[in-house]
Amino acid sequence: MAKNDKLSAVKGMNDILPGESERWQWLEAQVRALMDGFAYRNVRTPIVEHTQLFVRGIGEVTDIVEKEMYSFEDKLNGERLTLRPEGTASLVRATVEHNLLYDGGKRMWYMGPMFRHERPQRGRYRQFHQIGAEALGFAGPDVDAELILLAVALWKRLGLTQWRLEINSLGQSEERAAHRAALIAYLEQHQDVMDEEAKRRLYSNPLRVLDTKNPAMQEMVNGAPRLLDYLGAASLAHFDGLKAILDANGVPWTVNPRLVRGLDYYNLTVFEFVTDLLGAQGTICAGGRYDGLIEQIGGKSAPAVGWALGVERVLELVKELGTEIAQAPLDAYAIVPDAAAMPQVLQTLTVLREAGLRVQMHAATEQGMGSMKSQFKKADASGARHALIFGGDELARGEVTVKALRDGSGAQCERRLAEVAQWAPTLQSNA
C-alpha cells in the first residue's frame, strides 16, 4: 500500500458511527438497568487471553478453535495468545483466578467485542459484540429458568416480539457417552449421504453432525438416535423442572432434540432464542448449563449456566421490527456571532451543562464563525428547543437572548448571565 493511499477498516470489522451508535447506547442502557434489577454484577475481562484457555474450554474439535480464532505468537515472550472468540471461558477463567466462588454463588454479566474469522454477512462480523449473563455456583433448574426469564424481560424492554424459544437437554457425560456410541453406529451406516465435514467429525465430535445445515443430510439426521431417549431420571427431572417454571411464567417453548450448541462445555439445559426475520442468522441469544467448565479450566468443581446474545443481531431485529428509539432532544444551541465572546459563552454553557442540560455550541471553522443566518440554520437543524444568542449588545448588558425554536411562537426574551443557574431549568425539554 502506497504511503498516501486511503486506509479502510479491516474486512468484517465495522465502524459504529453517530446515528447508529445511539442505538447501541440505548440497548446498553436497557441491559444495565435490567441486570441491576436481577442482581447480576458486571465483570470486564481482557480482549486477549492465552490460546490454551479456548482450546481447553471451548473444545479442540470445534469450528471456533479449528478455523475461526485470531491467534498469534507474542513476539516478546513467545506466548500463544488469542483475541477472545466468546466471553464465557474468559469469565470462568477470571472466576477461578480470583477465587470468586469462595463465599458462594455469583451472578455476573459482561459486554464487549469478540473476534472470529468468519465470512461476513448480515448480523455476523469478524469483530462482533456480545452481552452475556452467567450464574456460577448454582445447580438447580430454577437458575436456568431465571436466565431465560432475564432474556425474555430484555425482549420486552426492547419491544421484540417475533422470537421463539427452543430448549433441549444434553444430559450428563455418561448419558452422552451411551448416546454417542449409538450415534456413531448409526452414522457409520449412513456415510453415503454425509458430507466431508460430517465424516471428519464422525468420531471426534459426532454430536455436532446433528447440527448440520446441509439439506441433503436432513432426512438422515432426523432419523438419528435422540439424546433425550438416553437421559436418566435426574437429568429428566432437571429438564422437567425448567419446563414447569417456564410454563408458570407464560414463556412458550419447544423442545428441539437436535439443539446441541457449538461449544463442547455444555451439559443438561441448552437453549436458543430464534427469529425468522434475519435470514440464516436467526439465533439472537443462546446458552445453557456448563457444569464441568470451571474444573476444566483449573478451578474447584462447581455448576454454572449462562447465555450470550449477539448485539449486532439484536439491533438488526430492532430495526426490522421498526422499534422507535427515543432520543433526548438538545435543550439549546449557542449562537456566537463573535469568537471574542467565547470565554463568556463557555462559562455560561458550563453552568447549563452542570444543571443537566444538553447544549451544543456553534464553533468556528477555517472560514470563521459564519453569519447569524447560517448559525440559525444550524441551530434549527440540530433539533434544539432553544437558541441562545450571545450577541455583542446582549453581552455588554450582561445578558443572553433565549429564542424558542420548536413551539411555533418564535418568542424570545433576555436572561441575566449572572443568574444562569436560576433560569436553566426553564430550558429543559421536560420543563
For 45-74, give the DSSP string.
Answer: --SEEEHHHHHHHH-SSSHIIIII-EEEE-
DSSP characters over 345-396: HHHHHHHHHHTT--EEE---BTTBS--HHHHHHHHHHTT-SEEEE--HHHHH
Distance of CA 147 to the CA centre of its chain: 15
Residue position matching grid coordinates 465470512: 119
The pairing of strands 332-335 and 412-416 is: unpaired
Contacts 24+ apart (CB under 8 A), 399-408: 400/348, 402/332, 402/427, 405/333, 405/379, 405/380, 406/329
Q: Say how many CA atoms lie within 13 Å of 189 toward its Cβ.
A: 10
pLDDT tens across the length of the chain (431 residues): 566 788 898 888 889 998 889 999 999 999 999 999 999 999 999 999 999 998 887 765 556 666 688 898 988 898 999 999 999 999 999 999 999 999 999 999 999 999 998 777 766 789 999 999 999 999 999 999 999 999 999 999 999 988 999 999 999 988 988 998 999 999 989 888 889 888 888 888 888 888 788 888 998 988 999 889 999 999 999 999 999 999 999 999 999 988 876 566 789 999 999 998 887 768 999 999 999 899 999 999 999 999 999 999 999 999 988 887 877 889 999 999 989 999 999 999 999 999 999 999 998 888 888 888 999 999 999 999 999 999 999 999 999 999 999 887 888 999 999 999 999 999 886 54
Helix (H) or strand (E) holding 298: none
Distance CA 157, CA 160 (A): 8
What's the confidence (pLDDT) of residue 428? 83
What's the confidence (pLDDT) of residue 389? 94
- Is pTM, for the whole model, over 0.95? no
pLDDT digits (tens, 9 = 90+) for 167-211: 999 999 889 889 989 999 999 898 888 898 888 888 888 888 887
Neighbours of 116 (CB within 10 A): 20
Helix (H) or strand (E) holding 14: none
What's the confidence (pLDDT) of residue 262? 58
The DSSP bridge partners found for residue 111 are 131
Distance CA 71, CA 51 (A): 7
What's the confidence (pLDDT) of residue 409? 81
What's the confidence (pLDDT) of residue 61? 52
What's the confidence (pLDDT) of residue 431? 47
pLDDT digits (tens, 9 = 90+) for 267-308: 999 999 999 888 776 899 999 999 989 999 999 999 999 999
Report all structural domains of the chain as residue ranges with CATH numbers, in order of start.
21-171+231-320 (3.30.930.10), 332-427 (3.40.50.800)
